[in-house]
């Protein structure tokens, strides 16, 4: 029986998908950290721990900035990651 040459090809990595996954993971974790920091500030304000006190207008701004910037950036990142390429 003649021996056949076996060609073993190494697995090919899809760098585009790996990069997208890493970027999306980073953005999700940073969004979680942003939300956690905002909730911590609101809890410190609510319970007046260690004399913590902020103006109410600053708290409104903080909540708006958290929702607006964080949600907007998260939406852009997810849309760019999962958008299907269009063929012309």
Interval 8-62: pLDDT, tens: 666 766 766 777 788 888 888 988 898 899 999 999 999 999 899 999 999 999 9
Residues of the domain holding 40: 21-81
Which pTM does this prediction carry?
0.68
Domain count, the chain: 1
Q: Is residue 47 included in any domain, yes or no?
A: yes
Q: Is residue 9 included in any domain, yes or no?
A: no
Q: Is residue 86 included in any domain, yes or no?
A: no
**Rounded (10°) CA dihedral 32, 37, 39, 43:** 160
Q: Is residue 54 included in any domain, yes or no?
A: yes
Burial of 8 (0-12, 13-18, 19+ CB in 10 A): exposed
Residue 77, pLDDT score? 81
């Amino acid at each position: 029986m003649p021996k056949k040459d076996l060609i073993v090809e190494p697995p090919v990595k899809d760098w585009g998908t790996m990069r997208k996954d890493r970027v999306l993971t980073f953005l999700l974790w940073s969004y979680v950290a942003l939300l956690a920091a905002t909730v911590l500030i609101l809890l410190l304000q609510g319970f007046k721990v260690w004399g913590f006190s902020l103006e109410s207008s600053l708290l409104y701004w903080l909540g708006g900035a958290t929702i607006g910037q964080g949600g907007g950036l998260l939406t852009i990142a997810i849309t760019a990651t999962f958008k299907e390429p269009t063929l012309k």
